[in-house]
């Protein structure tokens, strides 16, 4: 896939799927069963035409049970052929940047160049304790590690003396597929950080649930990012951003609530250090894609009007039964996507 400048009113949308991989030990589903379900969801996403399948990284808690997204995505690279495979995100703060560069160059090669590399500094207190990393250092560690990773992926023979890393004439023996650096998206939690990510010339990945006050604020966040990117002298591109929203599509708004509320509230109740917006709360502030095909398509059209062109849908949460996850993914692809294209006059889904 090639990068393109941001299109006008009729520009198509990219639709992706994202799995946090939250595990609930008190429930019957095992970690092995969760992995099997997630892999099936990625395969379904490819058949349905989703752009990217994103996987989170978390440590030392059932908040998320994929400590190394590269392992899961490598398995998925052999089960799929077209769908891009993304990290959301790889926590650079905790790992040796040389190892990260090697691992994800290999993954990109295995997948035939399908890696979308989301990176971030981490935010969960217990993970910093577990890795014995001082939270006060996280921004400096992240910036240094991202610089090293980016340069190694680009094929540079690197001699580097930083605050946290020292290398002498290090070069990767496996480069990304085709010799190009995969698209790198920097994650933000605070809305105010969007401007700075754009000003640094980076792509952005965000979950507005944790960043925005209400649905309209999503557009403000994109505008802040675009302002920073423009100040860096860079054009807007349709794939320079990914906005993730919790998603459940059903026959009606009432059915969506009946089928998704318990799973979503369980997911929220077990989230660590985050705002707790339960089902009624998130319906009120609007930072979700819950409801009928018409409701969800209407909100997607509003996102398109804000300038958003890439939305990652989070259907898998709170031990939602696999049949419901797959039904929601299918309704979104087969009914919401075409309805949005008709409303905004888009030619076809991107990718």
Considering all CA atoms of the chain, what is the largest pairwise distance in Å, rounded to the nearest integer? 61
Annotated domain spans of the chain: 14-344
pLDDT of residue 6: 61
Distances (CA, A) of 239 to 164, 207, 273: 32, 16, 30
As a 3-state breakdown, the chain gives helix, strand, coil percent values, each rounded to 5, of: 45, 20, 35
pLDDT tens column, 140-158: 999 999 999 999 999 999 9
Please report how many Cα atoms fall inside a 13 Å half-sphere around the Cα of residue 137, on the Cβ side: 14
pLDDT for residue 191: 87
Question: What burial class does residue 283 get, using C-beta atoms within 10 Å of its C-beta: 0-12 exposed, 13-18 middle, 19+ buried?
Answer: middle
Could you tell me the two tokens for 304? 């398109």
Q: Which candidate, 42, 170, 48, 64, places its Cα nearest to that of 114? A: 42
* Per-residue model confidence as pLDDT tens digits over 41-93: 999 999 999 999 999 999 999 889 999 999 999 999 999 999 999 999 999 99
Residues of the chain with pLDDT under 50: 1-4, 348, 350-351
Helix (H) or strand (E) holding 170: strand 166-170
pLDDT at 190: 87
Strand positions, DSSP E, 52-155: 52-55, 84-91, 115-120
The first and second tokens of residue 315, run together, are 């259907």
pLDDT of residue 350: 47
Global model pTM greater than 0.85: yes
| DSSP secondary structure code for residue 272 in this structure | S
- In angstroms, rounded to a whole number, what is the distance separating the alpha carbons of residues 201 and 224? 13
> Phi and psi (nearest 5°) for 170?
-95, 135
CA–CA distance, 98 with 31 (Å, rounded to integer): 29
Pair type for strands 14-19 and 310-316: parallel
Interatomic CA distance for residues 11 and 347, integer angstroms = 7
CATH of 14-344, one of 3.40.50.300, 2.30.290.10, 3.30.565.10, 3.20.20.30: 3.20.20.30
Please answer whether residues 236 and 261 qualify as being in contact, where contact means their C-beta atoms are separated by less than 8 angstroms.
Answer: no
What confidence score (pLDDT) does residue 274 get? 61
């Amino acid at each position: 896939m090639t990068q393109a400048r941001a299109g006008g009113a009729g520009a198509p949308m990219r639709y992706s799927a994202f799995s946090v991989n939250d595990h609930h030990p008190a429930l019957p589903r095992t970690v092995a069963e969760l992995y099997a379900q997630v892999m099936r969801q990625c395969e379904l996403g490819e058949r349905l035409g989703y752009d990217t399948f994103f996987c989170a990284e978390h440590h030392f808690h059932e908040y998320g049970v994929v400590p190394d997204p590269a392992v899961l995505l490598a398995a998925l690279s052999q089960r799929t052929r077209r769908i891009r495979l993304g990290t959301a995100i790889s926590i650079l703060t905790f790992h040796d940047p040389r190892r990260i560069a090697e691992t994800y160059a290999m993954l990109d090669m295995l997948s035939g160049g399908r890696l979308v590399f989301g990176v971030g500094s981490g935010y969960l207190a217990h993970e910093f304790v577990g890795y014995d990393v001082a939270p006060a250092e996280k921004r400096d560690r992240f910036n240094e590690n991202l610089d090293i990773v980016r340069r190694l992926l680009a094929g540079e023979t690197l001699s580097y003396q930083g605050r946290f890393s020292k290398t002498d004439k290090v070069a990767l023996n496996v480069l990304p597929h085709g010799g190009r650096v995969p698209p790198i998206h920097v994650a933000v939690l605070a809305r105010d950080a969007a401007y700075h990510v754009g000003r640094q010339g980076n792509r952005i990945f965000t979950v507005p649930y944790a960043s925005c006050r209400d649905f309209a604020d999503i557009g403000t966040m994109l505008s802040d990012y675009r302002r920073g990117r423009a100040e860096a002298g860079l054009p807007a591109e349709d794939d320079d951003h990914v906005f993730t929203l919790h998603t459940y599509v059903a026959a009606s708004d009432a059915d969506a609530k009946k089928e998704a509320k318990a799973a979503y509230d369980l997911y929220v109740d077990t989230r660590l250090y985050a705002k707790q917006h339960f089902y009624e709360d998130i319906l009120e502030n609007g930072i979700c894609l819950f409801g009928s095909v018409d409701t969800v398509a209407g909100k997607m059209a509003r996102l398109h009007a804000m300038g958003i062109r890439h939305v990652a849908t989070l259907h898998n949460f709170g031990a939602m039964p696999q049949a419901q996850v797959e039904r929601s993914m299918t309704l979104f692809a087969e009914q919401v996507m075409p309805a949005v294209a008709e409303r905004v006059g888009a030619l076809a889904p991107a990718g």
